Amino acid sequence: MYKVETREVNLFYGDNRALKSVTMGIDENKVVAMIGPSGCGKSTYLRLFNRMNDMIPDFLPDLTNVNINCAISYNDLITPYFIQYLITWENSSGL
């Protein structure tokens, strides 16, 4: 079971496709390096997890397969602020 996982994630800013069918699983307590050319979507992908993309105008996600701790996924009930709170609480409590 992955700590963070995406499956076939697509992301658009208006008509511009920023991510196309990205699938990745990250194990707990592992270091991951994302290497690629400027503009390839590294930062956009990372912003999925703290939901900072939600604040950008014309952000159109297809994010039904984004899981953090394999228990939290994107839906209308979970706000970016709640995700940031959970990440901060988990890191400060040693979980």
72 versus 53: the higher-pLDDT residue is: 53
Q: What number is the average pLDDT over the span 44-68?
A: 78
11-38 residue pLDDT tens = 888 898 989 999 999 898 899 999 999 9
Q: What is the pTM of this model?
A: 0.67
Beta strands in 1-95 (DSSP E): 4-13, 16-26, 59-62, 66-68, 72-73
**Cα atoms found within 13 Å of the Cα of residue 88, Cβ hemisphere only:** 7
pLDDT of residue 83: 63
